[in-house]
Amino acid sequence: MKNALQKAKSRFKIEAVFTGALASNYQASRIGKICAELELECINPLWQKSQLAVLGELGEKKIEAIIIGVFAKGLENFLGKRIDEKFIQEIKPLSEKLGINPAGEGGEFESFVLSAPFFKKRLRIEKNHVFEDRQGGRVLVIDKISLV
């Protein structure tokens, strides 16, 4: 991550990094440390917010995100799906049943933002494949992506 941020800072002149950290001290401190080393501002706008409320705000704020990694049993069918109202209705009871975090903050799943009002262009995944690790985790690997 540090190398990628260093390249982005050099190439695109970025000054800050926004994280999606909600409750994970490890996640927030790890990214914060890297940002400090690179003299980048680290912004955690979702820190300590209600996790289900944050998921709901994605649609309200017209942020289009998909699930690109699933690492907990019972979530396999969510890979590649949009995080929308249907997702929230399905993940809430499943999180209670399985004892997992509904926003994936415990590493149960990872998300990727395709479009947001503050993006100049939308990202479109043109080609991808699924990688499955030895522990049963599945990742949607993006082979080709474009700006539209």
Question: Given strand 123-132, what is the order of strands in its sheet?
Answer: 109-115, 64-70, 138-147, 123-132
pTM of the model: 0.79
Structural fold of domain 49-148: putative n-type atp pyrophosphatase, domain 2 (3.90.1490)
Whether 76 and 44 have beta carbons less than 8 Å apart is answered as: no
Q: Which two tokens stand for residue 77?
A: 């069918």
Q: What is the pLDDT of residues 19-70, one digit of tens each?
A: 888 888 888 899 999 999 999 999 998 899 988 999 999 999 999 999 999 9
Closest Cα to residue 41, out of 14, 72, 68, 79? 14
Q: For CATH 3.90.1490.10, list the domain ranges present in the chain.
A: 49-148
Model confidence at 96: pLDDT above 90: yes
Confidence label for 81 from pLDDT (cuts 50, 70 and 90): very high
Handedness of CA 99, 28, 81, 135 (dihedral sign): negative
